[in-house]
Structure 1
Amino acid sequence: MDFSRVDLSDDDRQFRDDVRALLRELVTEEVLRRDRETGDNFDEGVHLALGAAGYLEREWRPEADGGFSRVRRRIWEQEKRRFHVPWVTWGTTAMVARSVDRFATPEVRDEVLPRVFSGHVRMCLGYTEPEGGSDIATCKTRAVREDGSTWVINGAKMFTTGAHNCQYVFLITNTDPAAPKHQSLTMFLVPLDTPGIEIQGIRTVDGDRTNIVYYSDVRVDDRYRLGEVNGGWTVLREPLNAEHGAVAAADDGLADVSIMMHQAGFMADALDRVAGRVAETGPDGRRLLDDQSVAYRLGRSAARMEAALSTPSIFGRVAIAQAMRDISPDLMDIIGVASSLPLGTDGAADDGGAEYVYRFAPLVGIYGGTLEVFRNMIAQYALGLGKPKYAASQ
């Protein structure tokens, strides 16, 4: 891993300063307060402003097609995190847009992509089902061809985060129940204003909002099908790999080494706040940091975090989520009972940073697939240990 600093050109420094000025103007305390209250991880005003300024399209496109250079892409990603830009809905939109660009008809591409770049169209992921868990290939949501140009969809999807702020859902359906599960899937880009779709909000323990979405006799034109009938796994594989973090490392060192780095930023902020708090001199003239057990536990937490942030690919996805689970209780214990007060509460020991990470950590181990699933993937595909056997021993 290359830890060397990147020397910025004058133009790149100006780009960084321009990004900071724009984000400082857009991501106000009111935006952050509203995002905490709604749990949406999305702000339409900010999103539309970034679209109008061209940042969404430049982030999505490769440099050869007018996108950011590698250095500017890294600057952009880092500054978005520093300002805590509500980002999740753009993350799902960007993933789905790549499948739309590759598999949709020219008519649907022209309908969707320009408005994705302007910020007026957002897209969410319709994968998980109420009884399906992380194995999305066991899909039971049915799509039946009514005639040559219309499909009728019935079923339900869990954890469709951002659906209430989106215009389309990237929906996995079963079009041949008799076929093997990876050969029975067909993907659709379903307009969310279609009759028969009902979106119900769910709040998670960390305060985020996700959704369960019901599909009741939803009629979708065949032009919204992505890829071949029963060929949905091919369409799904690339965005699914991106969500899992199973992507190749960048040769230039200017990309995240694993997924979940945005979430890890909250952990880093919390640790910094706790470190600042224990270094303060109390009324008795002493610092918590002078207690060797406090210094040891804080140092251990920092070392675990740095190791997790440096771990690549799906290994890092596991390491970050596990580090958050391990570190957050220690941080709360170090600064005492006032650490249990949430962000914005009078008397919160560290402005609620460690408490938020404590509530957030279990969800980070579920988003995009559970840690158990990823550990099985590592065991099976990286270590060659074979498939797990869940049947009871005879």
Structure 2
Amino acid sequence: MSVTPALPRSLSTEQRAFVAALREFARRECGTREQRDALAAESGGPHAPSLYARLAGLGWLGVCLPEAYGGAGGGMTDACLFLRETSRGLVPAGGFITSVITAKAYERFGSEEQRKAACGGVVAGQVLSIAMSEPGAGSDVAALRCRADRTPEGGWLVNGHKTWISNAHLAEHILLVARTDSGGAKQEGLTMFHVPARTPGVEIRPIETMGGREVNDVYFTDVRLPADAVVGTVDRGWSQLMAGLNAERLFLAANMLGLGERVFEDTVAYVRGREQFGRPVGSFQALRHRLADLATEIECARLLVFDLAAACDAEPERLFPREASMAKLKATETAKLAALEGMQMMGGYGYATEYDMERHLRAAVVSTVYGGTSEIQRDIIGRNYGL
């Protein structure tokens, strides 16, 4: 009996064909452990440049970006299908999620030239990164201190330290959020800047993690930017960030939904084949019931993710802060639970590098931290009920 996850019932014929093509690509390019190990060796992390270039060649990286910049013009549902299937298929395209989140900010607020560089670059296979967090500004991102000061020539001079910046080492451009005014509340006086990653004064240093090279410290030392580097409006960076929360949290949720589904499939395959006391271990009620609970939780996450995606497509300008936080919370916590349960049910083999489960666990655990911790998501949800 297949455990292939269900598709949303509302998908079009074209979307179903897209999913089928993604699944075949993952099977062909990343279907064996040997293939995945070879791809992982390219960058020491979850991004393989050679495979990413093939995704660009197929036109898939522009799935939800405007046709005017080479994209497919799809919506949030299409992006979620891509993220879910590449994650489920263990496709090492780790640079995509920061790229598409950043590109959507440029699409909404950037100048025409900035949109061409960012959106067009993503379609062509470039990676983008967004630099918000700092040593003293993580969950409280509005407390950031990296400064951009006006120069006599009309440009900007940037100094500061950003940390935990995903994919900065792969990025062609970095979308920087810096403080341009300290006179008001901490949410005021923030501005977005378009920064080519190789701009003089930008230094990117890796932070070693359990997942390999994914995140970085980024130092800005007397970085000079032209006046037209501003993305959107000076001192309005906070409201611009808030406008992108639907996309960021939904994309992260779709990504972890796919991982949770893959963990479940791998666990079921193992417990069907592993025998103890003369029978498959999956036939014991203790494991069968745990898998039933996991399957139910994953299905709830799937329904939540794709219902929100459909709502965003129907009302593109509306913010869904409660639902976006719910989707991110549910999908990431479910993926973490699935990986922990999968490791337990596989016993020692779940811990061994011979199997994928230990990789799944490393990827799932950190998902409840980045993009807003689970605690922050719960706080946002609570505030939306007036609490």
TM-score by length of 1: 0.79
Report matched runs for 1:182-193 at 5 Å: 182-193=187-198
TM superposition shift of 1:89: 1.8
Change in 2 beyond 3 A, CA 1:267/1:244 = closer
Pair 1:242-2:247 in alignment:
yes
TM superposition shift of 1:375: 0.7
Corresponding residue for residue 142 of structure 2: 137
CA contact (8 A) 1:206 1:363 kept: no
Pair 1:373-2:376 in alignment:
yes
Encode CA deviations 1:119-157: one digit per residue, 9 max, x unaligned: 2x3210101001112121111000011124321111111
- Rounded Cα–Cα distance in structure 1 between residues aligned with 2:81 and 2:302: 18
Report matched runs for 1:1-394 at 5 Å: 5=9, 9=13, 27=30, 32-37=36-41, 38-61=43-66, 67=72, 76=82, 79-119=85-125, 121-207=126-212, 209-245=214-250, 259-280=252-273, 282=275, 285-312=278-305, 313=323, 314-342=325-353, 345=354, 351-353=355-357, 355-381=358-384, 383-385=385-387
- Rounded Cα–Cα distance in structure 2 between residues aligned with 1:303 and 1:110: 43
SS in 2 for 1:97: helix
The letter for the 2-side match of 1:125 is: I
- Rounded Cα–Cα distance in structure 1 between residues aligned with 2:191 and 2:344: 49
The letter for the 2-side match of 1:274 is: T
The letter for the 2-side match of 1:267 is: G
Encode CA deviations 1:249-308: one digit per residue, 9 max, x unaligned: xxxxxxxxx742222322222222222222236375322234322323332333333333
TM superposition shift of 1:95: 2.4
Change in 2 beyond 3 A, CA 1:295/1:336 = same
Change in 2 beyond 3 A, CA 1:103/1:306 = closer
- Rounded Cα–Cα distance in structure 2 between residues aligned with 1:88 and 1:188: 23
CA contact (8 A) 2:71 2:123 kept: no
- Rounded Cα–Cα distance in structure 2 between residues aligned with 1:106 and 1:223: 11
| Greater shift in the superposed pair: 282-291 or 360-369 | 282-291
Change in 2 beyond 3 A, CA 1:114/1:290 = closer
CA contact (8 A) 2:167 2:216 kept: yes
TM superposition shift of 1:110: 3.9
Unpaired stretches in structure 2, ≥5 consecutive residues: 1-5, 306-322
TM superposition shift of 1:7: 8.1
Encode CA deviations 1:351-382: one digit per residue, 9 max, x unaligned: 232x333333331111101111111111111x
TM superposition shift of 1:3: 7.6
- Rounded Cα–Cα distance in structure 2 between residues aligned with 1:292 and 1:113: 51
The letter for the 2-side match of 1:156 is: H
SS in 1 for 2:62: helix
TM superposition shift of 1:27: 4.8
- Rounded Cα–Cα distance in structure 2 between residues aligned with 1:78 and 1:176: 40
The letter for the 1-side match of 2:242 is: R
Higher RCO (C-alpha under 8 Å, 6+ residues apart): 2
- Rounded Cα–Cα distance in structure 2 between residues aligned with 1:14 and 1:271: 24
CA contact (8 A) 2:155 2:227 kept: yes
SS in 2 for 1:264: helix
Encode CA deviations 1:155-178: one digit per residue, 9 max, x unaligned: 111111111111111100001122
CA contact (8 A) 1:124 1:170 kept: yes
CA contact (8 A) 1:152 1:219 kept: yes
Change in 2 beyond 3 A, CA 1:316/1:97 = closer
Q: Structure 1 vs Structure 2: percent identity of aligned residues?
A: 26
- Rounded Cα–Cα distance in structure 2 between residues aligned with 1:5 and 1:149: 54
| Greater shift in the superposed pair: 206-215 or 123-132 | 206-215
TM superposition shift of 1:232: 1.5
Unpaired stretches in structure 1, ≥5 consecutive residues: 246-257, 346-350, 386-394
User: Based on CA coordinates, which of the two structures has the bigger radius of gyration?
Assistant: 1
Change in 2 beyond 3 A, CA 1:333/1:111 = closer
Change in 2 beyond 3 A, CA 1:296/1:47 = closer
SS in 1 for 2:279: coil
TM-score by length of 2: 0.81
The letter for the 1-side match of 2:65 is: W
Encode CA deviations 1:325-362: one digit per residue, 9 max, x unaligned: 434333322232232112xx2xxxxx232x33333333
Change in 2 beyond 3 A, CA 1:226/1:283 = closer
SS in 2 for 1:67: coil
